[in-house]
A = this chain, B = another copy of it.
Amino acid sequence: MSRMDIQTRLTEFGIAVTSQRLEVAGILLDKPQHLAADQILAMLRKKGSRVSKATVYNTLHLFAEKGLVRALHVDPSRTFYDSTIHPHHHFYHVDIGELSDIPDEQIRIMNLPPLPPGTELENVDVLIKIRDRKI
């Protein structure tokens, strides 16, 4: 995705454009992937960027809140950010701690239960945990 495309994208999601936000988005939105904040920070540093840790965290929170990316809480030790936002679900390979996408169309959920009164749906996550087949 070009720098210009990313700018447009940020604006579409109601996010004010700054050079730091462009840098973070440039890394994460590059392709469909799942990255943690510290991985993004490391990648930025490797490229010579001077963005601070606090800004990376602030930026990712903002992106997630505005719906530009999706936060995933699968690995208990850290939050991953998913650059793919059209609805889909995940495989989590517990032996190697790896996350992969499942196209949404394949899964259909029947009989969604009634929500508790006074609440509305935010979203539905399906996480299919898999492991290496034993013998």
A74-110 vs B: 1/0 string, CB under 8 Å?
1110010000000000010110000010110011111
Q: Which residues of B contact A132 (CB under 8 A)?
A: 118-120
**A54 interface residue per 8 A CB criterion:** no
B113/A133 in contact, CB under 8 A? no
**A115 interface residue per 8 A CB criterion:** yes
Q: Which residues of B contact A118 (CB under 8 A)?
A: 132-133
A130/B119 in contact, CB under 8 A? yes
* Given A73-B74, A115-B128, 19 extra CB contacts under 8 A: A73-B76, A76-B79, A93-B119, A106-B111, A109-B110, A118-B132, A118-B133, A119-B130, A119-B131, A119-B132, A120-B132, A120-B133, A121-B130, A122-B129, A123-B128, A124-B128, A125-B127, A125-B128, A126-B127
What are 18 A-B pairs with beta-carbon distances under 8 A?
A: A93-B116, A93-B119, A106-B112, A107-B110, A107-B111, A109-B109, A110-B110, A112-B128, A116-B130, A119-B130, A120-B132, A120-B134, A121-B129, A121-B130, A123-B129, A124-B127, A125-B126, A126-B127
